[in-house]
Amino acid sequence: SAGKASLNAETVWGAVRGDYSQYLFEEHDAMAYSKFNVFHWHIVDDPSFPYQSQTFPDLSRKGAFHPMTHIYTQSDVRRVISHARLRGIRVLPEFDSPGHTKSWGKGQSDLLTPCYSGSTPSGAFGPVNPALPSTYQFMATLLKEVSSVFPDSYIHLGGDEVNFSCWKSNPDVRAFMQKMGFGVDFTKLEAFYMENIVNITTFLNKTAIVWQDVFDYHELIPKDTVLHIWKGSPANYRKELSRMTKAGMRVLLAAPWYINHISYGQDWRNYYTVQPLNFSGTAEQKKLVIGGEVCMWGEYVDATNLTPRLWPRASAAAERLWSDEKQTSSVDKAFPRLQDFRCKLVRRGIRAEPLYVGHCKHEYQGV
């Protein structure tokens, strides 16, 4: 008031978040800050994403092109974590298994399941092999190293999109299933594997996050695990929110914020109007929704389009997740605020794409 403003925070993180440039046009709800709202970048062994681990290309040929190559060592990871920490950002690793592990097999023999064609190995490999004790020893060693480098109390263990066809083809896996009393129910095998690695994380004093698939297969996962919803339409994820919270599990919602899915027009409006707590359940159940997550998957994204595609879409989701719902119910009132914020980003050198036709004040002062 009267040209003055003051900001008091109980912790340094509150002060970092209370950035005045936002405070001038937003009323923040203190409770919303204590939620666990995150932005998810997937680091994959796929050359389409800038943060990748890959072997050095052949540079011996004359005039060889030097692509942007990152070999991530522990000290690089520590640098990223420290850079983020000073900006009030926590970096959580996801080590997704047993699916999505093709690249792991290159470095760790016997980790992946050999697929069979009839009675002989076909030469192809499937998900991590859940039938071998060595798998769990490897995972324990890996997760121990991960938890020594990433200080955060959460580790994401994946567990999504496991294709059972290779497990089905493998006679050793089938024999293991018989021995364990799983019959031919491969969802039980995946549940067994996930329960084992969630137990490793618990032993390491970390909290596991897993994709919804794990709950869908097997509701009896350790209660402390956080479930991550990524699938489906609003009707579907509302049902999932009800089911998971009814089972007493904590949930992170990502399904409505897959911002790599682009479409013509102002798709940020869809991200803005999501109501994560609009599902049938008690007040106790609603408290178990610990936040939302914006995801940007790397299939069509690299250093050339990451930033424009990310912003201002992620800003829309951020205001939804970080602000009191009552103060932010109008998408039309959000428009000028978001447009202004996008201009702030541009002025600070962040190449955020426009929301619509127009220009920023700093770009044109008139002739």
Ligand X SMILES: *[C@@H]1O[C@H](CO)[C@@H](O)[C@H](O)[C@H]1NC(C)=O
- Beta-bridged to residue 207, according to DSSP, are 154
Nearer to ligand X, 118 or 349 (CB): 118
Nearest distance, CB of residue 165 and ligand X, angstroms: 4
Cβ 133 vs Cβ 160: under 8 Å = no
Cβ 270 vs Cβ 316: under 8 Å = no
Nearer to ligand X, 159 or 306 (CB): 159
Count CA atoms within 13 Å of residue 231 on its CB side: 12
Nearest distance, CB of residue 163 and ligand X, angstroms: 4
Nearest distance, CB of residue 263 and ligand X, angstroms: 18
Count CA atoms within 13 Å of residue 121 on its CB side: 9
Cβ 13 vs Cβ 268: under 8 Å = no
Nearer to ligand X, 73 or 278 (CB): 278
- Beta-bridged to residue 156, according to DSSP, are 94, 209
Cβ 307 vs Cβ 259: under 8 Å = no
Record the tokens describing residue 235, joined without a space.
């009707």
Nearest distance, CB of residue 77 and ligand X, angstroms: 19
Q: How far apart are CA 364 and CA 367, in angstroms?
A: 8
Nearer to ligand X, 48 or 153 (CB): 153
Smallest Cα–Cα separation from 39: which of 331, 345, 309, 337? 309
Record the tokens describing residue 116, joined without a space.
């069979």
Q: How far apart are CA 221 and CA 211, in angstroms?
A: 12
Nearer to ligand X, 54 or 280 (CB): 280
The verdict on whether 299 is a catalytic residue reads no
- Beta-bridged to residue 296, according to DSSP, are 41
Nearer to ligand X, 39 or 192 (CB): 192
Q: Is the dihedral of CA 139, 142, 147, 150 positive or negative?
A: negative
Cβ 338 vs Cβ 345: under 8 Å = no
Set 10, 26, 94, 161: catalytic member: 161
Q: How far apart are CA 167 and CA 179, in angstroms?
A: 15
311: CB partners within 8 A, 6+ apart: 342, 345, 350, 352, 353
Residues within the interface to ligand X (CB under 6 A): 153, 163, 165, 192, 195-196, 199, 205, 238, 273, 275, 278
Cβ 24 vs Cβ 31: under 8 Å = no
Q: How far apart are CA 148 and CA 177, in angstroms?
A: 34
Nearest distance, CB of residue 194 and ligand X, angstroms: 9
Nearer to ligand X, 29 or 195 (CB): 195
Helix pair 74-85, 133-149: axis angle to 10 deg = 50
Nearest distance, CB of residue 367 and ligand X, angstroms: 44
Nearest distance, CB of residue 294 and ligand X, angstroms: 18
Which residues are annotated as catalytic? 161
